Amino acid sequence: MPLTGVRIGVSPFYQADLDADIERVVDDAFGRLRDAGAVIVEADVPEIVKAAFDIAGALMLYEAVPSITKFLQAQGTGLTFDQAFGQVTESMQGFFKGVALPPNRPSREVYDEMLIKREQLKDAISHHFEEQGIIALAFPAISALPPRIGEEAEVEIGGKKVSFFVAFGRNTALSPVAGMAGLVLPAGLSAGGLPIGLEFDALAGKDRDLLSLGLSLEKALGAIPPPSV
């Protein structure tokens, strides 16, 4: 699919609070897409769409233990959740206890509320695509560079400490919550040589269209150098 005249949405919400390296690479990538003929449509997404991260978190945390229990049973492991839980690291146990186990697990009322919001979000993002005449929404997949192992609790963006989960989940939450087709392509490298990805989300059911578009996007963005080993 040629890029000439293809309208790709960009929202200030997903461009805010970025690591300087990511901001530089993404801005340059959008420039390359414009040079290839794409039309970059700048318009903020609806407020309900900005809640995707919170919706995703509540749904996943409520469903975590039941889903893991069903998985252990389906795989014939012979393990209960409690038995498997006792074998994971203390840090993982602490995380689960803090967010996914009673009394900290989201309530059923919160879960039901988020299911309703998810449907509202789906409608809102569909209307946004229609109003803006866009085929995909583009944004940096993550807002911070990957931290070193063992330093995942927080990351630093612009001199401020940000939760690891917010930095790496705020943008990527939209696609799974709305059931959208998603594609992440390499856009460039950080000053330290880390790859930086640009995500393109299309509406549900548009997988083939997005993959077709992805071939042209990939060509316009260009390849990044392979890592030295």
pLDDT digits (tens, 9 = 90+) for 195-222: 999 999 999 999 999 999 999 999 999 9
Confidence band for 38, pLDDT divided at 50, 70 and 90? very high
What pLDDT is attached to residue 229? 60
Domain annotation covers residue 13 = yes
Round to whole Å and give the CA distance between 23 and 183. Answer: 19
Domain annotation covers residue 226 = no
Q: Which of 147, 143, 146 is nearest to 166 (CA)?
A: 143
pLDDT digits (tens, 9 = 90+) for 148-179: 777 666 777 877 888 888 888 899 999 999 99
Q: Which of 217, 135, 137 is nearest to 175 (CA)?
A: 137
Domain annotation covers residue 31 = yes
The domain that holds 170 is classified in CATH as 3.90.1300.10
What pLDDT is attached to residue 148? 77
Domain annotation covers residue 228 = no
Asked whether the predicted pLDDT for residue 1 surpasses 80, the reply is: no
Domain annotation covers residue 136 = yes
Give the domain extent around 68: 7-221
pLDDT digits (tens, 9 = 90+) for 53-88: 999 999 999 999 999 999 999 999 999 999 999 998
Total number of residues shown for the chain = 229
Domain annotation covers residue 167 = yes
Q: Are 17 and 137 in contact (CB under 8 A)?
A: no
Predicted TM-score (pTM) of the model is 0.89
| pLDDT average, residue stretch 43-49 | 96
pLDDT digits (tens, 9 = 90+) for 102-152: 999 999 999 999 999 999 999 999 999 999 999 999 999 999 888 877 766
Q: What is the SS3 assignment for the chain?
A: CCCCCCEEEECHHHHCCCCHHHHHHHHHHHHHHHHCCCEEEECCCCCCHHHHHHHHHHHHHHHHHHHHHHHHHHCCCCCCHHHHHCCCCHHHHHHHHHHCCCCCCCCHHHHHHHHHHHHHHHHHHHHHHHHHCCCEEEEECCCCCCCCCCCCCEEEECCEEEEHHHHHHCCCCHHHHHCCEEEEEEEEECCCCCEEEEEEEECCCCHHHHHHHHHHHHHHHCCCCCCCC
Domain annotation covers residue 229 = no
What pLDDT is attached to residue 152? 64
Domain annotation covers residue 143 = yes
What pLDDT is attached to residue 32? 96
Of 6-20, 41-55, 86-100, where does mean pLDDT reach its minimum?
A: 86-100
What pLDDT is attached to residue 120? 98
State the total domains in the chain. 1
